């Protein structure tokens, strides 16, 4: 097999479109960070149980998983700008009607639209900029996209809190956000440069299964499982953190502040990653981050002093933040021609991890006690660290096939 140097994309002015994408991902973070806290409000307004609301959310996440992998695959074949436009239109429609009228059945439709839209935009955005940007700039942009999403996650619950204190129905906020989404995607479509894909590449790609290529790659499959265990542990901790601290006699109103600190630490971690990625390789930052985060989770479990526990939870968020953007960067570098399919594949594993770990942590907490929540987090992070470490030499030694 002949090994050729990967040709860098032609330089284009991506700055205007990137500012719009950052704004869109902040809004996505606000949307996701806002829907979760109003679950009790929705249950009360619709007169249904939490179990039914949870089931609706579960099915909408299944739609998210499917759209991740399908959209990522399609973006390696077709016009990415049109696919991105479709994703944001779905989100905008779901949010707009969610704010106007609501019953249980329309809630299902709205959430499916929102999850499908986000599931489409997420992998396609990474693919789009992986083609337009040089490898040197790609890592920085991926980190900033994740940073935007985390900023939205922090802002979302704060917006809900203010609206509830002001006596405003939180659903009204979604209608307002939908209008901003529509304006932003229109602006993006106008100012963003075209894709660098060639027609010949597209014709060749129709002849083979891109998804099968990714699934049959042992390195990418292993990285998928790294992200599965990582995502299950991190998002599991975020969901069950207040429950964990109930075991220590700390009220939810107080421990929710710890969760805010965790997300703020993640933002700080991404800023640190952005700074050090100019001096150190992604693979080293990736391995050190995931191992340091695992160590912090172990210290949270075995240290009994509450302020020290909170400190290590903060440090865990700080260190683990780098994993989300870097796993995509590293995976794409190993197979640059399959960027969209790879990101969709990685995000699918993220969703599976969340779906598996959430009920599993709940079962363990009920069966053995709330203090065992942190041990489930540790198990996920340690397994993720082991797999990532096993991949280290593959990351360093892998070469791009022609």
188 close to 128: Cβ distance less than 8 angstroms = no
Phi-psi region of 48 (alpha: psi -120 to 50; beta: other; left: phi over 0): beta
Q: In whole angstroms, what is the distance from residue 402 CA to residue 393 CA?
A: 21
Count up the domains in the chain and report the number.
2
Pair 177, 46 in one domain? yes
Instruction: Check residue 329 and give its pLDDT.
Output: 85
Instruction: Check residue 198 and give its pLDDT.
Output: 43
Looking at the chain, the whole-number percentage of residues with pLDDT higher than 70 is 86
Pair 133, 246 in one domain? no
Pair 385, 281 in one domain? yes
Q: Per-residue b/e over 67-76, b at no fewer than 16 CB within 10 Å?
A: bbbbbbbbbb
Averaged pLDDT, 11-16 = 70
Pair 231, 122 in one domain? no
| 115 pLDDT above the threshold of 90 | no
Considering only residues 258 and 157, tell me which one the structure prediction assigns the higher pLDDT: 258
pTM over 0.85: no
Instruction: Check residue 253 and give its pLDDT.
Output: 66
Pair 147, 218 in one domain? no
Structural domain includes residue 358: yes
- Which of the residue ranges 135-144, 149-158, 204-213 would you say has the lowest mean pLDDT? 204-213
Q: Residue 311: which pLDDT band, with cuts at 50, 70 and 90?
A: very high
Best CA proximity match to 269, nearest among 294, 289, 255, 239: 289
Structural domain includes residue 201: no
Structural domain includes residue 401: no
Pair 185, 286 in one domain? no
Pair 268, 371 in one domain? yes
Query: What beta strand segments (E) does 24-175 contain?
Result: none
**Residue 329 CB burial class (10 angstroms; 0-12, 13-18, ≥19):** buried
Instruction: Give residue 175's domain range.
Output: 15-192
Pair 130, 253 in one domain? no
| 95 pLDDT above the threshold of 80 | yes
Q: Residue 186: which pLDDT band, with cuts at 50, 70 and 90?
A: confident
Q: Give tens-digit pLDDT for 283-301.
A: 888 999 999 999 999 999 9
374 close to 244: Cβ distance less than 8 angstroms = yes
DSSP letter for 336, please: G
Considering only residues 199 and 95, tell me which one the structure prediction assigns the higher pLDDT: 95
Q: Residue 110: which pLDDT band, with cuts at 50, 70 and 90?
A: confident
Structural domain includes residue 149: yes
Q: In whole angstroms, what is the distance from residue 75 CA to residue 132 CA?
A: 14
Q: In whole angstroms, what is the distance from residue 258 CA to residue 241 CA?
A: 8
- Which of the residue ranges 27-36, 175-184, 261-270 would you say has the lowest mean pLDDT? 27-36
Considering only residues 159 and 307, tell me which one the structure prediction assigns the higher pLDDT: 307
Pair 246, 391 in one domain? yes
Q: Residue 195: which pLDDT band, with cuts at 50, 70 and 90?
A: low
The position carrying tokens 């027609």 is 199
Instruction: Check residue 139 and give its pLDDT.
Output: 80
Pair 30, 174 in one domain? yes
Mean predicted lDDT score pLDDT of the chain: 80
Pair 276, 151 in one domain? no
Q: Residue 308: which pLDDT band, with cuts at 50, 70 and 90?
A: very high
Considering only residues 379 and 135, tell me which one the structure prediction assigns the higher pLDDT: 379
Q: Residue 380: which pLDDT band, with cuts at 50, 70 and 90?
A: very high
Angle in degrees, CA 29, 382, 307, rounded to 5: 65
Pick from 103-107, 155-159, 256-260, 312-316 the range whose average pLDDT is largest: 312-316
First vs last C-alpha separation in the chain: 8
Q: Residue 336: which pLDDT band, with cuts at 50, 70 and 90?
A: confident
The H or E element that residue 142 is part of is helix 135-165
Both tokens of 205, joined, read 């790609």
Averaged pLDDT, 366-387 = 90
Structural domain includes residue 185: yes
Considering only residues 156 and 146, tell me which one the structure prediction assigns the higher pLDDT: 146
Q: What residues contact residue 136 under an 8 Å CB cut-off, 6+ apart?
A: none
Structural domain includes residue 168: yes
- Which of the residue ranges 177-186, 196-205, 264-273 would you say has the lowest mean pLDDT? 196-205
Pair 221, 176 in one domain? no
| 8 pLDDT above the threshold of 70 | no
Best CA proximity match to 26, nearest among 150, 114, 127, 124: 150
Query: What beta strand segments (E) does 248-391 contain?
Result: none
Q: In whole angstroms, what is the distance from residue 36 CA to residue 157 CA?
A: 9
The CATH number of the domain holding residue 54 is: 1.20.1250.20
Q: In whole angstroms, what is the distance from residue 282 CA to residue 143 CA?
A: 11
Q: In whole angstroms, what is the distance from residue 318 CA to residue 267 CA?
A: 8
Q: What residues contact residue 303 under an 8 Å CB cut-off, 6+ apart?
A: 309, 312
| 191 pLDDT above the threshold of 80 | yes
Best CA proximity match to 157, nearest among 314, 28, 31: 31
Tell me the angle at which helices 104-132 and 80-100 cross, rounded to the nearest 10 degrees: 150
349 close to 228: Cβ distance less than 8 angstroms = yes
Q: Residue 393: which pLDDT band, with cuts at 50, 70 and 90?
A: low
Instruction: Check residue 138 and give its pLDDT.
Output: 78
Q: Give tens-digit pLDDT for 38-86.
A: 666 677 778 877 667 767 777 778 888 888 888 887 877 788 888 888 8
């Amino acid at each position: 097999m002949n090994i050729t140097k990967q040709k860098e994309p032609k330089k284009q002015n991506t700055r205007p479109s990137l500012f719009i994408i950052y704004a869109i991902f902040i809004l996505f973070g606000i949307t996701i960070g806002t829907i979760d806290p109003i679950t009790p409000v929705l249950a009360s307004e619709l007169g249904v149980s939490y179990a039914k609301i949870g089931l609706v959310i579960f099915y909408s996440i299944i739609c998210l998983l499917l759209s991740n992998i399908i959209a990522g695959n399609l973006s390696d074949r077709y016009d990415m700008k049109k696919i991105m436009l479709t994703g944001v239109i779905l989100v905008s429609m779901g949010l707009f009607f969610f704010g106007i009228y609501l019953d249980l059945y329309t809630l299902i439709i709205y959430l499916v639209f929102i999850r499908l839209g986000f599931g489409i935009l997420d992998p396609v955005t990474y693919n789009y900029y992986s083609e337009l940007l040089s490898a040197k700039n790609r890592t920085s942009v991926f980190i900033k996209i994740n940073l935007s999403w985390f900023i939205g996650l922090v802002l979302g619950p704060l917006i809900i809190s203010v609206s509830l204190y002001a006596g405003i129905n939180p659903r009204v906020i979604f209608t307002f956000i939908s209008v901003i989404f529509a304006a932003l995607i229109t602006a993006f479509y106008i100012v963003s440069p075209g894709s660098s894909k060639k027609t010949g590449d597209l014709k060749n790609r129709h002849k083979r299964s891109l998804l099968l290529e990714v699934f049959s790659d042992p390195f990418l499959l292993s990285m998928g499982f790294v992200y599965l265990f990582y995502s299950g542990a991190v998002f599991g901790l975020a969901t069950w953190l207040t429950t964990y601290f109930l075991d220590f006699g700390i009220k939810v109103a107080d421990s929710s502040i710890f969760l805010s600190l965790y997300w703020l630490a993640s933002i700080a971690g991404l800023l640190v990653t952005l700074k050090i990625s100019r001096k150190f390789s992604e693979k080293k930052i990736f391995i050190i981050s995931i191992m340091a985060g695992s160590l912090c989770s172990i210290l949270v479990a075995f240290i009994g002093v509450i302020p020290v526990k909170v400190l290590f939870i903060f440090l865990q968020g700080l260190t683990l933040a780098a994993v989300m953007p870097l796993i995509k960067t590293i995976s794409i570098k190993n197979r640059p021609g399959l960027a969209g399919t790879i990101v969709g594949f990685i995000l699918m594993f993220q969703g599976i991890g969340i779906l598996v770990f959430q009920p599993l942590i709940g079962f363990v907490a009920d069966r053995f006690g709330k203090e065992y929540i942190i041990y489930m987090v540790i198990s996920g992070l340690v397994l993720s660290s082991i797999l990532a470490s096993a991949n280290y030499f593959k990351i360093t030694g892998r070469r791009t096939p022609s």
